[in-house]
Amino acid sequence: MNQQELIPHLFRTEFRKITAVLSKLMGIEHIETAEDIASDTFLSAVESWPYKGIPPNPTAWLYAVAKNKARNYIARNHIFDSKVVSEITQATAENEALAIDLSDKNIHDSQLQMLFAICHPSITIESQIGLALRILCGFGIDEIANAFLSNKETINKRLFRAKEKLRTENVPIEFPAEKEIQQRLEAVLRTLYLLFNEGYYSESQDTVLRNDLCLEAMRLTYLLIENESTNLSEVNALLSLMCFHASRFEARKNANGEIVLYQDQDENLWNKELIEKGVYYLHQASKGNHLSKYHLEASIAYWHTIKADSQEKWESILQLYNKLLVVEYSPIVALNRTFALSKVYSKAKAIIEAEKLKLTNNSYYFTLLGELYKESNPDKAKENFQEAYRLAKTQADKQVVLKQIDEL
């Protein structure tokens, strides 16, 4: 890997680690300082490596520079809380440098603790996802703005307000107490779930970014599984769900970048290894008595890894949707259920159930109705597809609808 490729790669993988460790050391109120030190570390690499060459161990070089910059900053500034001041005093007394632990274990723990701090109920879910992308995934402001179809100014303001709120609330960067983990874990899993969805169903045209969002959500979920206190059934269920969906990434778009619907996907392009991992984590999730929405969604996703239509498949999916609506009702889940209903019973029955939902601002609602009316009433199908086209938010979605109209 040459220098032009190496530094951006290391920024994505190491910026988040340095930031998490320094934030944990300095406290939640100094997240921006931690980010600045991490950014300055990479700036040093950009300034040094073209002239002195890439060091034998680039990651170790970055960690050493980050440690020195952090120590110098702390020595020059006396604005830190008693925790940091105490460590500095102790280090001075022992005539040692301030310990900045960038070991694998501390990096792992710091990222996980930061995840719980970021997913604090005092800030909005959009801010939680934005901070997760920035601090724990190493995404730049431009990339975050792209993911949210927003602009840099809006994202900067959102992240600034979120950090200020965490400062005001004095949120500690630490694992919650054992009895609080279940309560806090709900917000963490929701953030990771939405982070994955932002990539999988993103309206951004940046395919690489979409993949990265999903992979980062999976990486953070795996961190939870690696930790004994958070290796719980619903965490395994969420990672199972992500694996099943991610397994179809390569098949979801054709060579022209157009969306390929599930029934038209080439099964040979599905990632069998990810499907096997999804099955493994779903099995792990089955241990215990707790049934979450992630269990049900993962089970539905599992049945979609079996391409062939069968009565057993669609009856199972329908029953899972019925349970999911009881656990957590959602109009979109109800809409998806009507497709399974059409497979088990009839399109006529599915149309009745779908039209009861009256999701008249949703393009997928009209796309589904168009699909259901295709055989019985082509004119009605065309009307629904035309309305779906009008409401579609992306060019990719519009192309899918146009293809449906052409087939009529």
How far apart (Å, rounded) are the C-alpha atoms in residues 247 and 269? Answer: 9
Query: Mind listing the pLDDT tens digit of every residue in the chain (408 residues)?
Result: 677 789 988 998 999 999 999 999 999 989 999 999 999 999 999 999 999 999 999 999 999 999 999 998 888 875 555 555 555 555 544 444 557 899 999 999 999 999 999 999 899 988 999 999 899 988 888 888 887 778 999 999 999 999 999 999 999 999 888 888 877 898 899 999 988 988 888 766 666 557 888 999 999 999 999 999 899 999 999 999 999 999 999 998 888 777 888 888 999 999 999 999 999 999 999 998 889 999 999 999 999 999 989 999 999 999 999 999 999 999 999 999 999 999 999 999 999 999 999 999 999 999 999 999 999 999 999 999 999 999 998 888 898 899 999 988
Residue spans per domain, the chain: 1-102, 310-408
Domain 310-408 has CATH 3.40.50.1370: no
pTM for this prediction: 0.86
308 to 127, 262, 263, 354, 365: CA distances (angstroms): 41, 11, 9, 24, 25
Pull the structure tokens for residue 185: 């874990």
How far apart (Å, rounded) are the C-alpha atoms in residues 256 and 395? Answer: 12
Query: What secondary structure does DSSP assign to 108-129, as a single string?
Result: HHHHHHHHHHHT-TTS-HHHHH
How far apart (Å, rounded) are the C-alpha atoms in residues 8 and 317? Answer: 43
The phi and psi torsions of 285 (rounded to 5 degrees) equal -70, -20
